[in-house]
Structure 1
Amino acid sequence: MEQPDAMLVDDIVAVIIRRLADQQRVVPEYIVRDAIKAALRRRSDDGGPVPADIAEELIDGFCSGVTAVEDDSATMPAVLSGDETGRLMTALGLAVHVAAFNLDRDRLHVAQILNGAAAALVALGAAARAAYADGTSAVLLSPATLRTARTTVIGVLQGLQDRGWQARHLDQAGTAALFGGVLEMLGAVPPT
């Protein structure tokens, strides 16, 4: 017999996608669905409707991390030099490389990293082109782009430090130093 407050996996996925979108986070639906199904398998779920309390726990767990969208209207853009722009581009490219290398391990987290890196790289490229068109080497980045870049780099570090991501093909000390230096440059404290 179906529980009156139970939810189907499709309904849980729809709620998560909507809440993530409200937080300015975009994750492909198949990633969320795979992650929900994996979480339910760990609970020995039979594939039927999910009890309301478990559904709410899953939704809250997948949507945590961003509590509110920040208002950037009173914040000035950051000004990066050519060297700083290059360092940020290198870190974002390395973030994509490390995340893609671990796709089979942690698809939801990797999708968030890839999405954040892509958004930051697009904004960084547009800002670099604007600087070139103006005849200057000062690249202006919005607070939202800086926040996305910080979140992306921190997410990769968390993957390497806390989630068992593989990066044996890279110089571990050099990778950590690059990410730490970029986070310091962006005004973030690297996680320890």
Structure 2
Amino acid sequence: MEQPGAMRVDDIVAAIVRRLTDRQRVVPEYIVRDAIEAALRRRAGDSELVPIDVAEELINGFCSGVTAVEDDSATMPAVLSGDETGRLMTALGLAVHVAAFNLDRDRLHVAQILNGAAAALVALGSAARAAHSDGTSAVLLSPATLRTARTTVIGVLQGLRDRGWQAHHLDQAGTAALFGGVLDMLGAVPPV
């Protein structure tokens, strides 16, 4: 029996996935469901019906910080050297590595990191191939790709600093220096 002023978990998950998709963020539904169910267990135990105020809080909380897609049509692509391209690829690969080691801790955040890193690596690889076929070493990256790469690197740093992610198998100072250097490099390209 439906309770007035209540939402089903399926509806909450669908609302979150829809809102994230509208902002061009792709997160698998099962990850969102796991995160919602974990949040509900911490609050009041298992329940299929969630009071509307709690449902709205969950939807807004999971989607906070996710902004709408920006219009990049008037922004020029950034030009990266071969060295800068390699540094960015290294940082994105390390981001995947760190995120994968923390999948059991923070699945929603990890899924966003993995998705962002994959998108940035695909775009970066395509841009590097285009540079190679043109006979240049200048890799052109769109503002959207730079923003995705920056968001991904920042997300991993937040995981390590603020979310209790583990990276004991890595040199902590070296990892932070690599990410910091890449963020500085990305800040030096035209603003996005």
2-side partners of 1:102 and 1:132: how far apart? 35
TM-score normalised by the chain length of structure 2: 0.96
Instruction: Could you list the structure 1 runs, at least 4 aligned residues long, displaced by more than 6 angstroms after superposition.
Output: none
**Pairing 1:1-192 to 2, within 5 Å after superposition:** 2-187=2-187
Q: Secondary structure at the match of 1:43?
A: helix
Q: Secondary structure at the match of 2:152?
A: helix
Q: What is the CA deviation profile of residues 102-139 of structure 1, one whole-angstrom value per residue up to 9, with x for unaligned ones?
A: 11111110000000000000000000000000000000
2-side partners of 1:13 and 1:48: how far apart? 12
Root-mean-square deviation (Å): 1.0
Q: Secondary structure at the match of 1:128?
A: helix
Q: Secondary structure at the match of 1:55?
A: helix
1:48 Cα deviation after fit: 2.8
Q: What is the CA deviation profile of residues 62-101 of structure 1, one whole-angstrom value per residue up to 9, with x for unaligned ones?
A: 1111232111000000000000000000000000000000
1-side partners of 2:86 and 2:48: how far apart? 50
State the identity as a percent.
89
Paired amino acid for 2:187: G
Unaligned 5+ runs, structure 2: none
TM-score normalised by the chain length of structure 1: 0.96
Q: Secondary structure at the match of 2:25?
A: coil
Give the aligned length.
188
1-side partners of 2:183 and 2:34: how far apart? 31
1-side partners of 2:3 and 2:46: how far apart? 14
Q: Secondary structure at the match of 2:5?
A: coil
